Amino acid sequence: MNYLKSFFKKGLVEFGDILDKKKCDEIYNKIVNSRDLSKNIFRSKKEYFKDPNPRKTNPGKEFNNLTEKFDLSFVEEHPVLKKNLELLLGKDYEIVMKNFVIGVPDSWLPEWLKKTTKKLLAPNLGAFIKKKYRDATYFRGIDFHMDLIDHPKLVGRNLTLYIYLNKVNNRMSPLQLIEKSHILGATKFPHYLKNNKKKTIQYSSDNKKFTKFTKKTFIGDRGNVYLWSSLILHGTNPQQSKTPRISLRYDFKPKRKNEKKNIYINKFLKKINGNLSMAVVRDDINLASKRMEQLKFNKILK
Ligand X SMILES: O=C(O)CCC(=O)C(=O)O
Q: Which are the contacts of 158, defined by CB distance < 8 A and separation ≥ 6?
A: 96, 147, 148, 151, 229, 230, 251, 252, 253
Q: Which does 48 bind (CB under 5 to 8 A by kind): Fe ion, ligand X, none?
A: none
In the complex with Fe ion, the residue whose CB is nearer, 90 or 126, is 126
Contact region for ligand X (CB under 6 A) — 23-31, 68-76, 139-147, 212-220? 139-147
3-state secondary structure at position 292: helix
User: Could you give the count of Cα atoms lying within 13 Å of 299 in the half-sphere of its Cβ?
Assistant: 5
Q: Which one among 113, 142, 155, 184 touches ligand X, defined by CB under 6 A?
A: 142
In the complex with Fe ion, the residue whose CB is nearer, 147 or 293, is 147
In the complex with ligand X, the residue whose CB is nearer, 161 or 184, is 161
Count residues near ligand X (CB under 6 A).
11
Distance separating alpha carbons of residues 216 and 239, to the nearest angstrom:
17
**Interface of this chain with ligand X, residues 154 to 183, rule: CB under 6 A:** 160, 162, 173
Residue 11 makes contact with ligand X by CB under 6 A? no
- Minimum distance between the CB of residue 38 and Fe ion, rounded to whole angstroms? 25
3-state secondary structure at position 107: helix
Contacts with Fe ion, residue ranges (CB under 5 A): 147
> H helices within the chain, ranges in order?
3-10, 21-33, 45-50, 73-76, 79-89, 111-117, 264-270, 290-301
Q: Enumerate binding residues for ligand X (CB under 6 A).
A: 101, 103, 139, 142, 147, 160, 162, 173, 234, 236, 249
